[in-house]
Structure 1
Amino acid sequence: MPGVAGRSGRRPKPVAKKQLAGNPGKRKLNTEEPDFGLVRSIDCPIWMGEFGREMWDTVCPLLCRERVLEATDVQNLEVYCNAYDQFRMAQADVQKHGVTVLGASGSPVKNPALTAIKEATGTMSTFGGMLGLDPASRQRLRGPTDPNNNDNPFAALLNG
């Protein structure tokens, strides 16, 4: 929020994510950050659709293994998996009926499932980023690579 002291600018990264990244800024870490408890394993909600359940069963163990998922993050995972479920169902509707359908007046109109796909992918992008499920978010978790790593074939050119 612009103009509000302490609330403008980039959101702070949780200490656990800074530690996963190796504390790239080498700043002192906040030792007073609240601990909401790591989630080691959690069952998929019973209301989740088939595709969302498949995504949950894929992503949840990975997040638990990396110790990224806390009790307060479970709803983010629920929203992400539910959006994935909606995305897959809407995609199936487009495959079945096409990008245009007959409207009330009998003329072709855009399939409403296309709007559902767009909204679901936006939700997946937002909540997936919060959970570190996209390449940019993972890079922010990991931090920069080790400059002493000699696996780079261009290192000799760069170092002279």
Structure 2
Amino acid sequence: MSRPKPADTRTGHTTTLPEFRPNPVAVEAPDAPPSLKTHGKHLWAALWDAGRNFYQPATDSLVLERYCNLQERRKELLDVIENEGWMTIGSTGQTVAHPAAKLLSEVEGRLSPLEDRLGLNPESRLRLGISSVEHQSKLDAFLSKMGGANA
């Protein structure tokens, strides 16, 4: 059996994972899209605040908008189910699952992959390499730009 090559002499196929580079300065959250309602706008602001060191407005806004829209739809469906119950009467009088329950299941199925792509769970943050990104406040950014010491 041959020995493995030392890491510094290896060539060939490298990792296909993109190299993560945090934003040098925290980005400001763009205005919430007009398609979002109150719940979506609050979620929009919270997501941009949490991801200000790695979300890019030019490329991530549409994905975040889709995620917020789906979360709004999920909330509306949960409200319907809470008011009307998980079960309802079918066309022939039998008890069936509420139609909103199936829609809720579909929406939740679409949310999970988006959560992974956006780094909204610990595993995806680790996989994306964004678990150690620290929040840089406006004051920290100003001080580092001016060459001052961080407090």
What TM-score, normalized by structure 2, do the two folds share? 0.65
Match of 1:60 among 33, 38, 48: 48
Partner of 1:7: none
Does 1:130 find its partner at 2:134? no
Partner of 1:108: 95
The 4+ residue runs of structure 1 with deviation greater than 6 A are: none
Query: Deviation per CA, 1:14-41, whole angstroms, max 9, x where unpaired?
Result: 33x2x35xxxxxxxxxxxxxxxxx9632
| Compared CA separation, residues 127 and 12, structure 1 to 2 (3 A) | farther
Q: Is the 8 A contact 1:86 1:116 kept in 2?
A: no
| Compared CA separation, residues 87 and 50, structure 1 to 2 (3 A) | same
Partner of 2:38: 50
Query: Deviation per CA, 1:82-105, whole angstroms, max 9, x where unpaired?
Result: 111111111111111111112233
- In structure 1, distance between residues paired with 2:92 and 2:123: 45
Give aligned pairs, total. Answer: 115
- In structure 2, distance between residues paired with 1:86 and 1:77: 14
SS in structure 2 at match of 1:14? coil
Residue segments in structure 2 that go unaligned for 5+ positions in a row: 1-14, 133-151
Letter in 2 for 1:49: K
Partner of 1:31: none
| Compared CA separation, residues 67 and 40, structure 1 to 2 (3 A) | farther
Letter in 2 for 1:14: P
Q: Is the 8 A contact 1:94 1:113 kept in 2?
A: yes
Does 1:14 find its partner at 2:46? no
Alignment of 1:10-159 (within 5 A): 12-15=16-19, 17=20, 19=21, 40-63=28-51, 65-142=52-129
Letter in 2 for 1:61: D
Residue segments in structure 1 that go unaligned for 5+ positions in a row: 1-10, 21-37, 146-160
Structure number with larger C-alpha Rg: 2
Cα RMSD for the two superposed structures: 2.6
What TM-score, normalized by structure 1, do the two folds share? 0.61
Q: Is the 8 A contact 2:36 2:69 kept in 1?
A: yes
